[in-house]
Each structure stands twice: as C-alpha cells, then as structure tokens.
Amino acid sequence: MEEALSKCRVVLVDFWAEWCGPCRLVEPVVEKISEEYGDKLAVVKINVDENPDVAASFEVYSIPTLLLFHRGKEARRFIGYSPMLYRNITGLLNSYFSSV
C-alpha cells in the first residue's frame, strides 16, 4: 500500500473481510471503478482480518470502508454501502483527473 501511495496520484483502498455481507455489495463497485480507471489509479484491497494493524493505523473501525487518496493524502472516506457509492467515487475521480 505504501508503494501505491508513493507512486500513484490517486489510490482507492478497500478495507474488507470475507465474512462481511456489505463488503460483497461494495466489491463489484470497486471492480467496476478499477476497470474504468485502472490506468489512472491504483486499487488496493486490504483484508482487515489478515492486516488488523494496517486497518488500525488508518483508523478503520467499520467495514466496508473505502479510502480515497489524492496526492498521498486521504481525500475522502466512504463507510458502508450505498447505492450512490459508485456515483460519489467516480464524481471525485473525474474532478481529480480533469484538473491534471
């Protein structure tokens, strides 16, 4: 994850767990964003059960949580699933990429 943050202008980090039902709803959203913006951003998936220290270091206490980093800094945090999740994330991404 550190490498992605240092090399990529925009990084989307997905904190999830296998047992998490709402995480399954977020997964296709993250996959679609990765397919559509894959050449412009890095997507990092972090299993909180396997990486509890990483989750704690980013103060992730609920899952699913998506962190959107822009130029190495956390720009936005999305907690839980919403039908508007895709639109909210892509709206931010489009604003970042249009201001190149």
Catalytic positions are 20, 23
How buried is residue 15: exposed, middle or buried, by Cβ count under 10 Å (0-12/13-18/19+)? Answer: buried
Cα–Cα distance for residue pair 63/77, rounded to 1 Å: 11
Q: Phi then psi for 71, rounded to 5 degrees?
A: 55, 40
